[in-house]
Amino acid sequence: MVTERSDVTQILAEIFREHGYAGASLSEITNRTGLGKGSLYHLFPDGKEGMARAVLFEVADWFEENVFMPMRAPDNPDGGIDHMFTEVLRFFDTGRRTCLMGAFALDDARDRFPSEIQAYFLDWTRMLATALRRSGFEKNAAREAAEEVVAGIQGALVLARSLGDPAIFVRAIKRLRKRTGLDQQV
């Protein structure tokens, strides 16, 4: 059996990504996890909302560890930014996977987890902006470029999913990576 909370969270993330919050039914959750309601409500006493919250937390945690932390290294900011693109590409399965935060942002879940969603995007843009500054960007240019990159990633995920063409995401990453290069910073 699954039994481990982190394993369950992984599956839950996948389900929420596919169906959004409202569309993720408990019946599908019990099916895909193989867990009865008893175990499920033992692991997540707050029910569906608790499950979603756990998933959101896990995603935020993953980004903190794998993207933000490396980006904070005061020396070698370019390395941190490059690393971000690599990890993001991997995280979204080269464009095959959708963004949970983005899905929730356009869904019922927005009203349920506004602060979590906001924090995710705020952290991301801020981290990237400061890294860009340290990499030589002027203050406003850094802020704007960070916004462009994060939005570009989200949009490319939407487009890739809509057209069923992950290559769109790969192209976007390449483009945005170039965008953060020092040649266009002004």
Closest CB to its own copies among 19 and 177? 19
The single residue among 17, 48, 97, 133 that binds DNA, judged by CB under 7 A, is 48
Kindly state the number of chain residues that form the binding site for DNA, as judged by CB under 7 A.
19
Dihedral of alpha carbons 70, 71, 72, 78, sign: positive
Residues with Cβ within 8 Å of 38's Cβ and at least 6 positions away in sequence, in order, are none
Contacted entry of its own copies, DNA, none for residue 101, CB cut-off 5 to 8 Å set by kind: its own copies
Of 80, 29, 36, 75, the C-alpha closest to 52 is 29
| Minimal distance, residue 55 CB to DNA, in Å | 14
| Chain centre distance of CA 102 | 8
172 interacts with DNA by CB under 7 A: no
- DSSP character at residue 94: G
Query: Nearer to its own copies by C-beta: 19 or 53?
Result: 19
Residues interacting with DNA, by CB under 7 A?
1, 3, 24-28, 34-39, 41-43, 47-49
